[in-house]
């Protein structure tokens, strides 16, 4: 008999209803392509499943990926809705906030992207800038869609802090990123540290130190992995962490 092939790490991804007519569960294919390229098996589950089912399936997963999408219900972090806050999905908020809390408590690897960093921050007691242009300022354009930017186009730079997990991927200093968001972290959630910012001060990545892998970014690395070895290496760092300690 040959040596058994090691099982690919299973990455759980919540899939919400988010097409214009609210008829389809959707997810950008770049998330899937990036995970597969790093040796992972994506497991897609609809957010409409109840918590008991999610908890059972979560227990079998090796890691969790939280993806981009619409805005979080502001009442969750104690604020009224800003006029620009849009595409709220309470069902999605509910399960993704739970996943952000479960993974931290259980020390299960978790990687969060764009909306995901905002979910993580809110799940840990933080709050959000609901609209960067009107509530923070617009020295840098963070809304790539507003200027017709391609999904893999560098829109601005972020400055990576030394000594963080993400520094092991990019090194310290400036990294060019894409950008497709109008909200961002305001008050930082409990247990998180800021590991990079844009030149205007907007938080671009956070981590929970002392955990196996609990990392979030505000940009969309999945849209850049096809042409950027550093963005693919970021996914690989998550998949590698999810491989450690699995059955």
Range 213-235 average pLDDT: 98
Range of the domain at 81: 10-243
15-24, 42-51, 180-189, range with the lowest pLDDT: 15-24
Per residue in 136-157, pLDDT (tens digit) is: 998 899 999 989 899 999 999 9
The pLDDT of residue 119 is above 70: yes
Say if 164 falls within a structural domain: yes
Is residue 246 over pLDDT 60?
A: no
Say how far residue 185 (Cα) sits from the centre of its chain.
13
The reply to whether 3 falls in a domain is no
- The answer to whether position 232 is within a domain reads yes
Alpha-carbon span 102 to 245, nearest angstrom = 17
163 occurs within a structural domain: yes
> Is residue 4 in a domain?
no
71: pLDDT strictly greater than 90? yes
pLDDT of residue 19: 66
Q: Which residues contact 1 (CB under 8 A, 6 or more apart)?
A: none
CA angle (240 as vertex; 234, 246 as ends), nearest 5: 145
| Residue 41, CA distances (Å) to 63, 97, 226 in order | 10, 23, 18
Q: What percent of the chain has pLDDT over 70?
A: 95
Radius of gyration in angstroms for the set of CA atoms belonging to the chain, rounded to a whole number: 17
Residues 6+ apart with CB under 8 A from 56: none
- Cβ within 8 Å of residue 183, ≥6 positions away: 71, 85, 118, 128, 129, 130, 131, 132
Q: Is the pLDDT of residue 191 over 50?
A: yes
Q: Does residue 216 form part of some domain?
A: yes
pLDDT at 5: 45
Where does the pLDDT of residue 6 fall: very low under 50, low under 70, confident under 90, or very high at 90 and above?
Answer: low
Looking at residue 79, its pLDDT comes to 96
**Mean pLDDT, residues 174-185:** 97
CATH code at position 192: 3.40.50.880
Reported as type and span, the H/E element at residue 37 is helix 29-37
Give catalytic residue positions: 114, 220, 222
Question: Is the residue at 2 inside a domain?
Answer: no
Catalogue the E-assigned strands of 41-192.
41-46, 63-66, 110-113, 128-129, 156-160, 173-177, 184-185
pLDDT (0 to 100) of residue 26:
83
Q: What is the pLDDT of residue 1?
A: 37
Residue 171: pLDDT above 90?
A: yes
pLDDT at 112: 98
Q: Name the domain count of the chain.
A: 1
Mean pLDDT of the chain: 93
Q: Is residue 5 part of a domain?
A: no
């Amino acid at each position: 008999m040959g040596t058994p092939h090691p099982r690919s790490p299973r990455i759980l991804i919540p899939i919400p209803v988010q097409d214009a007519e609210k008829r389809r569960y959707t997810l950008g294919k770049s998330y899937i392509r990036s995970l597969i390229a790093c040796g992972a098996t994506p497991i897609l589950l609809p957010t409409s499943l109840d918590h008991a089912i999610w908890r059972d399936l979560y227990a079998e997963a090796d890691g969790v990926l939280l993806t981009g999408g619409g805005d979080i219900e502001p009442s969750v972090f104690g604020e009224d809705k800003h006029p620009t806050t849009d595409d709220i999905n309470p069902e999605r908020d509910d399960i993704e906030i739970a996943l952000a809390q479960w993974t931290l408590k259980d020390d299960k690897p978790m990687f969060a992207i764009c909306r995901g960093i905002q979910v993580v921050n809110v799940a840990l007691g933080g709050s959000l800038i609901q609209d960067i242009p009107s509530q923070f300022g617009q020295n840098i354009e963070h809304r790539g869609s507003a200027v017709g930017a391609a999904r893999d186009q560098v829109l601005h730079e972020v400055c990576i802090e030394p000594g963080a997990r993400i520094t092991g991927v990019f090194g310290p200093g400036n990294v060019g990123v894409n950008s497709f968001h109008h909200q961002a972290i305001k008050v930082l959630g409990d247990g998180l540290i800021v590991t990079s910012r844009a030149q205007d001060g907007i938080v671009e990545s956070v981590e929970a130190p002392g955990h196996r892998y609990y990392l979030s970014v505000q940009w969309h690395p999945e849209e850049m992995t096809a042409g950027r070895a550093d963005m693919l290496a970021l996914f690989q760092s998550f998949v590698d962490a999810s491989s450690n300690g699995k059955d």
